Every structure is written in structure tokens, then in C-alpha cells.
Amino acid sequence: MESGYGLFIDGRWSTPPKSKRFVTKNPATGETVGSFVSGTAEDAQRAVGSAARAFPGWRDTPAPRRGEILLEAARRMRERKSDLGRLVTCEMGKVIGEGLGDVQESIDFLEYIAGEGRRLAGETVPSELRSKFCLTVRQPKGVVACITPWNFPTAIPNWKIAAALVTGNTVVFKPASNTARCAAEVVKVYEQAGVPPGVLNFVTGPGGVVGNALVSDPRVRAVSFTGGVATGREVYALGAEGLKMVHLELGGKNPVLLMDDADLPLALDGVLFGAYGTSGQRCTATSRLIVHEKVYAAFLEMLVERLEEFAVGDPLDPATGMGPVASADQERKVLEYIALGKKEAKLRYGGKKLTGGLYDRGYFLEPTIFETKHGTRISKEEIFGPVLSVIRVGTYEEAVRVANDVDYGLSSSIYTSDVNRAFRAIHDLEAGITYINAPTIGAEVQLPFGGVKHTGNGGREAGSVAIEEFTEIKTVFVDFSSKLQKAQIDAE
């Protein structure tokens, strides 16, 4: 299914002369999926120029019209759902149900945010003076850079691009290099839906080159970034030099708290899905299971028993539970953590690279469980793979202490049948998201998404707050008294 792509600048797909190329590979088979331009800083700057020229026209396009174009993109995405879902699976490796889910999330968000074209609400508030009217309006920021990771190769780009466009910004999109074909197909959907030339631009190439050039370009007024903490820090610092708004969505070390009064079979399904869905490569993946000692032994038995039957294999086969990890780099990193875990904790299940037959063609790992004390590196650092750290605790209070004692704060979950305890957990857990009796994964587009501590820098994506990231608020005073009125001085 290999295909060659150019850059998309000024509404045209083109390949700059003498440009270098790179390819993406199917992590299950090693087959080439697509070939792309390895863009340069100059390509990034051309794309920013195109976005800057298109900005005045797009800013003045009525917001409901901008929303209609996004609705058309949603319709086209729905028409292509099955081929795009398959592409997600072939380029990134998540199982086909999740590949289709990735595309569905894109459709859901496009439909949701298109409606924002008819809202974009400001405030009206009273003035302290007579015959004076006070309100706020939202205005776009200008040219926005959207830099995305590979784990949700259609959904995360759509979260960013659609929210930026409906609010009147123009965009330069730089996708993760190893899912560039999914990204290119997303751009084609917007192009075909009628996004005018220059409003959305697409530059592939190394993050350190293209991403860097975008973040440091003075014409880029805002950066929306999802990825690793180290890169996020770099992007934040570079953006700060230009005093631009930088929105960061980074990693997680998400706990499930399993209490002694939990519905264990329900929790079992949730932990399996949370820990091993997308081969553990979700920023919201369940990477820690914090278990009350009264149910510890029994639950671990149940977990191991289910993993014995857990099918790891061809991600296109609907019967497969877990596909490969996304790349050779991912495999190496996860295996390093597994080696570390073998030294500092007790390996309870898995821990090996799978070999033989189809496994030899891709990056397949066993779903892995470590029993560990809180405080080991595997219990505190983000692994981003199918590795679950299980930690025994004696009380709810200890569980919360352990849950909160990490650098991250994205998602969290508690399984309990005590409603008071559930509400306490909502209050106690340091995380942007808390699930009650459900796994740590399962975001819905109509709700805000993001986290605390090193997971981000305070913003949220999706939900009605998605537009905050991409708008400036202008405060307006309309004085219809026909005389000079002085706030604070003339007030009655």
C-alpha cells in the first residue's frame, strides 16, 4: 500500500527540488507504508508564510461558514472511516477496532467543534456606569503550529487543527514522522472539504528541524504540542523566547486504585483494556495498579489467568487483543524498562520479545506485569508500552499517597462500591481526569482533556474549553452616554 506524498503549502501538494525523503513502516510486518519529504527549516518558513497570507481572509470568513467546512470534513472522514482506520492500524500498529476508533474520535470531534462556529461565546456583564455596555469577543490568535505524536495519528491532529480553524486561525501542521501517511490523509480530507488555500499547511520532516523552525518563527503566535516531556520542555522554552502561547500535552503514569470492596471481574476487564489497549502506548494508559492487600493475591491470579489467553498478533485480525508496539525505537525503550524491572522488581508475567512466525516481522512484546514496591523507576517513570506495575497497599489513604507521588497527573481511576470513597477519590487524586469504576482510558470529545503537574502546562483540549487555546479575548466597552465617563471616579 506504499504511496508517495509531498508537502501541502498554499493549497498545493508539491515536492521541493532536491529534497530528501523518508518512509514509514508497518510495525507488524515491516512493509513500507508511505514515503514523505524530509522537510527543512526553509520549507517550514514557506508554510508559515502561506498561513500568514491566508490569515486575514480566513479570520474574516464568518465562523458559521468555517464550521460548515469542518462538518463537511466530518462527513468525508465518515465516508472514509474504514480505509483510514485500516491505515491507522497498518502505520501505527494498534488493533483494527482501535484504528477505527481513532478515526471515529476524529469524526466526533469535527462534528462537535463545527457547532462552535455558531457559538464562540463571549460574555456580557454590567458596567458600573450608566449608558455603558460591556462585553467580550473572541478573536483568533493568527498562525498556529500544531505538532502531534504518533499514538493517535488521526484523532490528535483533528483535535488541534479543527479547534484552531473554527476559531479563525490558520495552521501549519507538523505530524509525528512515523505516522506521516495518516496525517497526510487527514490533510486531504480538509482540502477536499473546502478549506481555502493557505489556511491549512502540512510539512513533514524531523521534529528537531521542522518543529523547531515553526516554534521559533516570530509569525507563529501559538503552538499546540502533544508528545514527550523532554521535547515539550524544549518547545516551551523556545516558544517563551518569542513570548508565544505554548499548549503542552505530555505524558502520564496513570493509576488504577483497586479497593477491597471493588467488583473484581469488572475491574479485571478495565485493567486489561487500560494497560494493554494500544499496546500501552496511550498517554492515559493504566501503567500502575495499586491494589488493596485484601484482594491483591486473588486479583493478580485473575489477571495472569486472563493474560494466558490474551492474543498478541496481527492487528488487522479482529480477534487480536494486542498488536505490536509502534516502532523499533519504542521496542528498544520498552525492553530497556523491562530489563530494569527485572532488577528492581519481581517479574510476574511476560517480559519478553515475541519471536517466531509473524512475530519475526514486527515489534511484538508480551504483555508484562511487575510486582513492585512504590518508588522503583518502573513504578514512577512513563514506559509507554504494555508493562503494568502492580503495587500492594494497606489502606485507601496509602493508595492515594502512592497514586499522587509521581511527576505526572493525567488520568486516574478507582474501583470501589463505596460511593463516599468514590467522591473522596475525585477530590484526592492529583490528575486532570478521574474515572470511577472504569479504566483510565476512554476520553470523550465533548469533555476537556489534559492533566496536571508534568503532564502539561495548565491548558485543556477538547470539550467546550478547546477554543480557549486558540483565541484571544477582547474586552469591549461601548459608551452610549455621549459624555466622558470615568470608571472608579464617576461611579455612583
Binding site for ligand NDP (CB under 6 A): 147-151, 174-177, 206-208, 211-212, 215, 226-228, 231, 234-235, 249-251, 283, 382, 384
The nearest distance, CB 317 to ligand NDP, in angstroms, is 25
Phi, psi of 134 (to 5 degrees): -120, 135
The nearest distance, CB 167 to ligand NDP, in angstroms, is 21
Question: Closest CB to ligand NDP among 331 and 371?
Answer: 331
Q: Is 9 left (phi over 0), alpha (psi -120 to 50) or beta?
A: beta
Question: Closest CB to ligand NDP among 175 and 351?
Answer: 175
Question: Closest CB to ligand NDP among 231 and 471?
Answer: 231
Question: Closest CB to ligand NDP among 56 and 208?
Answer: 208
- Alpha-carbon distance of 336 to 330, in angstroms, equals 10
The candidate with the shortest Cα–Cα distance to 22, out of 45, 42, 41, 2, is: 2
Sign of CA dihedral 231, 280, 291, 448: positive
Question: Closest CB to ligand NDP among 26 and 231?
Answer: 231
Helix or strand or coil: residue 333? helix
- Alpha-carbon distance of 444 to 431, in angstroms, equals 17
The grid coordinates listed for 123 are 460574555
Question: Closest CB to ligand NDP among 411 and 416?
Answer: 411
The candidate with the shortest Cα–Cα distance to 147, out of 113, 182, 172, is: 172
- Alpha-carbon distance of 54 to 372, in angstroms, equals 55
The nearest distance, CB 33 to ligand NDP, in angstroms, is 15
Q: How many helices (H) and strands (E) does the chain have?
A: 14, 21
Q: What is the DSSP string of 274-304?
A: HHHGGGG-STT-EEEEEEEHHHHHHHHHHHH
The nearest distance, CB 384 to ligand NDP, in angstroms, is 4
Q: Where are the beta strands (DSSP E) in 271-422?
A: 286-292, 346-349, 368-371, 387-393, 408-409, 411-415
- Residue pair 380/253 in contact (Cβ under 8 Å)? The answer is yes
Residue nearest ligand NDP, Cβ-based:
207
- Alpha-carbon distance of 259 to 400, in angstroms, equals 11
- Alpha-carbon distance of 159 to 111, in angstroms, equals 11
Of 146, 283, 331, 366, catalytic? 283
Of 185, 249, 331, 366, catalytic? 249
- Residue pair 293/392 in contact (Cβ under 8 Å)? The answer is yes
The nearest distance, CB 251 to ligand NDP, in angstroms, is 4
> Which residue's entry shows cell 496536571?
452
The nearest distance, CB 286 to ligand NDP, in angstroms, is 15
Question: Closest CB to ligand NDP among 62 and 218?
Answer: 218
- Alpha-carbon distance of 142 to 199, in angstroms, equals 11
The grid coordinates listed for 260 are 477491597
- Alpha-carbon distance of 205 to 376, in angstroms, equals 36
- Residue pair 82/96 in contact (Cβ under 8 Å)? The answer is no
Question: Closest CB to ligand NDP among 214 and 425?
Answer: 214
Tell me whether residue 249 is one of the annotated catalytic residues: yes
The nearest distance, CB 236 to ligand NDP, in angstroms, is 10
67 CA to centre of own chain:
22
Q: Which helix (H) or strand (E) holds 327?
A: none
- Residue pair 466/444 in contact (Cβ under 8 Å)? The answer is no
Identify residue 299 by its one-letter amino acid code: F
The nearest distance, CB 181 to ligand NDP, in angstroms, is 13
Question: Closest CB to ligand NDP among 147 and 441?
Answer: 147
The nearest distance, CB 177 to ligand NDP, in angstroms, is 4
- Report, as residue numbers or ranges, the catalytic residues: 249, 283
